[in-house]
Amino acid sequence: MAWLYLILAGLFEIGWPIGLKLGWTGAGAQPRWILLAIVCMTVSGALLLVAQRTIPIGTAYAVWTGIGAIGTFLVGVYAFGDSANLLRFLGVALIAGGIITLKIA
């Protein structure tokens, strides 16, 4: 169950950078997106807290941030038109490899 909480925490970790990105536009602050960011931060942190009661903290933190980093990268590429060159995808693959290694170990 702890791993499910950790995966969910990582998915909510993706939500707050998106909320912050959409929370400030040329028209100014967009409160609903900023609120989404705050809610995602809170839920993500709470789920991490529960998960790390069972999972070692170093592993939990690396997996949590890795899911957030990979997910945010993919959302940036597909939804915001961020650069998608081979080296960037290689970097993401290395992060995923590290997460898998931690889970196996």
pLDDT score, position 53: 97
pLDDT tens by residue, 48-101: 999 999 999 999 999 999 999 999 999 999 999 999 999 999 999 999 999 899
Of the pLDDT bands very low, low, confident and very high (cuts 50, 70, 90), residue 103 is confident
What per-residue string of b and e applies to 34-45 under the rule 16 or more CB within 10 Å gives b?
bebbeebbebbe
pLDDT average, residue stretch 7-28: 95
Q: Which domain holds residue 81?
A: 2-104
Q: Please answer whether residues 62 and 98 qualify as being in contact, where contact means their C-beta atoms are separated by less than 8 angstroms.
A: yes
Give the pLDDT of residue 102: 84
Residue 105 confidence class, pLDDT cut points 50, 70, 90: confident
What does pLDDT average to over the chain? 95
Domain count, the chain: 1
Please state, in angstroms and rounded to a whole number, the distance separating the CA atoms of residues 26 and 45.
30
Position 40 scores a pLDDT of 98
